[in-house]
């Protein structure tokens, strides 16, 4: 396992992601995504925090991610330029995880092949849970690609019990405690920092007011027309009564008619 003072291995990640600084924004269909080659030593040049987690979308990892997002500005003032969440997941999964929770201040690293995670000694086997190889949970402060501080959870091993996922040492509280003890500081992120300008293109503010109302009325009219068309095309289905029109009831009705015919015929024959 990597230790404090060690230089991190250099790997290149191929990730399909968007440039969060582009005019299309970070979220949604207008974000311009493309394949990018990201080199680890370049990303870890400025003082940053790297948080390794077992899996995107899992409850504990999501809580940890949200905690670091919420405390980003406070961590930034302790001379932390970036915070990266790293997992052995592909970039589609990592990006959707961030989008799904509106994470805009953190960055993600999709170590999909587990190359970096294995080289730092944090790759564990979770095949007993159907996860295959994943990252052990840890958090580290890195500068100039060297480990300044490592907060790794205890008990690292392969195929640990389903309910064994320690979350004691890598949380944001202990990270803040460490950074305070070092005493390095910088001013708070100003409004020029990129994430203050992140648009949410799913909500087009230019349409607020009458134009949005017209669109809303138009959408309702189109939906009503589609519904009316469907009702007309499926009229028989709309008139269906399960109490009288089911196959079972139809068969019973036919059986009753046959019985009545038999009775009438026997009376006519005088038997």
Catalytically annotated residues: 61
Write down the H helix ranges in 106-186.
115-119, 172-182
Asked whether the CA dihedral 35, 39, 42, 48 is positive or negative, the reply is positive
Q: What are phi and psi of 233, to 5 degrees?
A: -70, -20
In this structure, what is the dihedral angle of CA atoms 29, 30, 34, 39, given to the nearest 10 degrees? Answer: -110
Reduced to 3 states (helix: H, G, I; strand: E, B; else coil), residue 168 is coil
Q: What are phi and psi of 25, to 5 degrees?
A: 90, 180
Report the C-alpha gap between 31 and 77 in whole angstroms. 29
């Amino acid at each position: 396992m990597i230790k404090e003072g060690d230089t991190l291995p250099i790997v290149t990640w191929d990730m399909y992601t968007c440039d969060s600084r582009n005019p299309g924004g970070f979220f949604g269909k207008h974000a311009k995504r493309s394949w990018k080659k990201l080199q680890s030593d370049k990303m870890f040049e400025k003082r940053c925090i790297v948080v390794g987690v077992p899996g995107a979308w899992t409850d504990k990892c999501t809580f940890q991610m949200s905690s670091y997002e919420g405390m980003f500005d406070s961590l930034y003032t302790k001379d932390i330029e970036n915070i990266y969440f790293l997992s052995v997941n592909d970039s589609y999964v990592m990006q959707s995880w961030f989008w799904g929770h509106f994470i805009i201040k953190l960055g993600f690293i999709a170590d999909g092949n587990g190359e970096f995670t294995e080289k730092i000694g944090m790759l564990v086997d979770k095949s007993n849970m159907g996860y295959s190889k994943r990252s052990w949970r840890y958090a580290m402060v890195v500068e100039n690609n060297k480990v300044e501080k490592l907060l790794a959870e205890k008990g690292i091993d392969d195929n640990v019990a389903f309910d064994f996922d320690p979350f004691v040492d890598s949380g944001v509280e202990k990270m803040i405690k460490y950074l305070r003890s070092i005493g390095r500081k910088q001013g708070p992120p100003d409004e020029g920092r990129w994430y203050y300008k992140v648009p949410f293109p799913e909500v087009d503010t230019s349409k607020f007011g009458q134009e949005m109302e017209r669109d809303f009325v138009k959408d309702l009219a189109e939906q009503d027309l589609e519904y009316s068309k469907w009702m007309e095309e499926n009229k028989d289905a709309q008139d269906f009564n399960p109490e009288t029109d089911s196959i079972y009831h139809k068969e019973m009705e036919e059986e009753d008619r046959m019985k009545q015919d038999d009775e009438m015929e026997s009376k006519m024959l005088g038997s």
